[in-house]
């Protein structure tokens, strides 16, 4: 039997020390002005120059980012019962060998999506190591991930809160954490407040604006409050270099169009819904939500973007 996931005494001590340092750093941050350059932070030239010119701020910023990444990995491992996963190499994706591919048990109820991932410890059918591989699977957490489930994501909420404390610019800490909070209907307002904090700390984040708009519509039916955030997500994406957007940012951009269409239609503003659908199809020609809306209203516009 593979051993269950657990936290060692050393890991617990490391987290306690790190959290203490982060709390100290949080109060010294206004003095050090630690700006962290991440893809969604949107630093301008002046901010970047200030970052480069402050070694202490840069060091603290790197620590914050590393700590958030560490907590993200710990949360992911915990939710998967201790099983480590990694992205598949290009050769593995194209290979005809039967890899231990991870299917998408995520994507809902706060769980993370899995795109082209496999277990860090190979499955028996794809492991060339023989008895050494069998031993590896016995001493490390392992399971076949072709059809898998997760632990209750709510159990990992403290880790996500620590992520955003350690690095307020760690976008998944807000988007995934809010989805986990929203598993409890009584905590929908708390999830919205959490995303609003994310918007305050990351005003140039496509993902956080889109997630907040979706949350307001899907969970609370606050359409008018949601629309500015969806429009902001679209606006931010439109001025960015599309080739430089991450997959998560592209998906958030597309979903912003979708929720804008659905929201305007439900609010009775059919012209606005039509306009969003047309604009959405120009950027995402195969989007099913935009296509279906135009089909239902019998209005089509496939003119190219100027």
- Tens-digit pLDDT profile for residues 92-109: 666 655 554 554 444 444
Which helix (H) or strand (E) segment holds residue 86: the answer is: strand 85-87
Confidence of residue 132 (pLDDT cuts 50, 70, 90): confident
What mean pLDDT is reported for the chain?
74
Domain boundary among 55, 80, 105: 80
Q: Are residues 181 and 142 in the same domain?
A: no
Domain limits for position 230: 170-297
Domain assignment of residue 302, yes or no: no
Residue 213: pLDDT band (50, 70, 90) is very high
Q: What gap in Å lies between CA 74 and CA 56, rounded to an integer?
A: 27
Q: Would residue 164 count as lying in a domain?
A: no
In terms of phi and psi (left: phi > 0; alpha: psi -120 to 50; beta: otherwise), the region of 298 is: left
Let me know if residue 141 belongs to a domain: yes
Structural domain contains residue 107: yes
| 159 part of a folded domain | no
Residue 217 and residue 262: Cα distance in Å, rounded?
Answer: 9
Instruction: Give the Å distances, CA to CA, from 79 to 2, 101, 132, 153.
Output: 16, 17, 27, 6
- Among 2-6, 62-66, 154-158, 284-288, which is the least confidently predicted range? 2-6
Is 174 buried (19+), middle (13-18) or exposed (0-12) by CB count in 10 A? buried
Give the pLDDT mean for 209-231. Answer: 97
Sign of CA dihedral 257, 261, 262, 268: positive
Query: What's the chain's Rg over C-alpha atoms?
Result: 22
Residue range 252-270: mean pLDDT, rounded: 96
Q: Which pLDDT belongs to residue 4?
A: 52
| Predicted pLDDT of residue 306 | 43
User: Structural domain tally of the chain?
Assistant: 3
- With respect to residue 135, please indicate whether it lies within any of the assigned structural domains: yes
- Co-location of 186 and 207 in the same domain: yes
Residue 264 has pLDDT above 90, yes or no: yes
Residues 179, 288 within the same domain: yes
pLDDT digits (tens, 9 = 90+) for 18-67: 667 666 555 554 444 444 444 444 555 555 555 555 544 454 455 455 76
Residues 226 and 215 grouped into a single domain: yes
Question: Residue 122 gets which letter from DSSP?
Answer: P
Q: In the numeric block, which tokens belong to residue 125?
A: 């059918």
- pLDDT score of 140: 60
My answer on whether 258 and 185 are in the same domain is yes
Does a structural domain hold residue 157?
no
Across the range 153-160, mean pLDDT stands at 75
Average pLDDT over residues 236-241: 96
Total-model pTM: 0.63
Say if residue 143 is in the same domain as residue 220.
Answer: no
Chosen domain end from 50, 80, 110: 80
Residues 265 and 198 in one domain: yes
Residues 118 and 229 in one domain: no
Residues 89 and 202 in one domain: no
Within a domain: residue 5?
Answer: yes
Same domain for 180 and 284: yes
H/E stretch holding 93 reads helix 90-94
For residues 20 and 98, membership in a common domain is answered with no
Answer yes or no: is pLDDT of 147 > 80.
no
Q: How many angstroms separate the CA atoms of 233 and 212, rounded? A: 10
- Among 80, 99, 116, the domain-final residue is 80
The residue among 306 and 134 whose pLDDT is bigger is 134
What pLDDT score does 127 carry?
66
Whether residue 90 sits in one domain with residue 50: no
Residue range 158-209, pLDDT digits in tens: 888 888 888 899 999 999 899 989 988 999 999 999 999 999 999 999 999 9
Q: Is the pLDDT of residue 282 over 80?
A: yes
């Amino acid at each position: 039997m593979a051993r269950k996931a657990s936290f060692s005494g050393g890991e617990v001590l490391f987290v306690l020390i790190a959290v203490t340092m982060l709390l100290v750093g949080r109060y010294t941050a206004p003095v050090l002005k630690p700006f962290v350059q991440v893809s969604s932070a949107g630093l301008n030239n002046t901010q970047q120059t200030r970052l480069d010119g402050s070694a202490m701020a840069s060091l603290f910023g790197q620590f914050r980012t590393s700590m958030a990444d560490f907590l993200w990995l710990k949360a992911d491992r915990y939710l998967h019962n201790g099983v480590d996963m990694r992205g598949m190499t290009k050769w593995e994706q194209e290979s005809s060998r039967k890899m231990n591919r991870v299917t998408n048990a995520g994507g809902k109820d706060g769980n993370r999506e899995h795109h082209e991932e496999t277990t860090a410890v190979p499955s028996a059918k794809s492991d060339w190591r023989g008895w050494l591989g069998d031993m590896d699977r016995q001493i490390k957490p392992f399971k076949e991930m072709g059809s898998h489930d997760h632990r209750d994501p709510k159990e990992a909420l403290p880790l996500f809160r620590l992520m955003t404390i350690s690095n307020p610019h760690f976008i998944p800490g807000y988007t995934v954490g809010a989805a986990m909070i929203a598993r409890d209907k009584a905590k929908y307002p708390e999830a919205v407040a959490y995303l609003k904090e994310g918007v305050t700390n990351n005003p140039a984040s496509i993902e956080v604006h889109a997630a907040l708009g979706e949350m307001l519509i899907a969970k609370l039916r606050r359409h008018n409050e949601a629309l500015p955030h969806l429009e902001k997500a679209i606006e931010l994406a439109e001025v960015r270099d599309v080739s430089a957007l991450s997959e998560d940012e592209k998906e958030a951009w597309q979903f912003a169009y979708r929720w804008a269409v659905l929201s305007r239609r439900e609010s009775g503003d059919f012209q606005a819904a039509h306009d969003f659908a047309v604009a959405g199809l120009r950027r995402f020609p195969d989007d099913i939500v935009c296509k279906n809306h135009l089909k239902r209203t019998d209005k089509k516009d496939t003119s190219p973007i100027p």
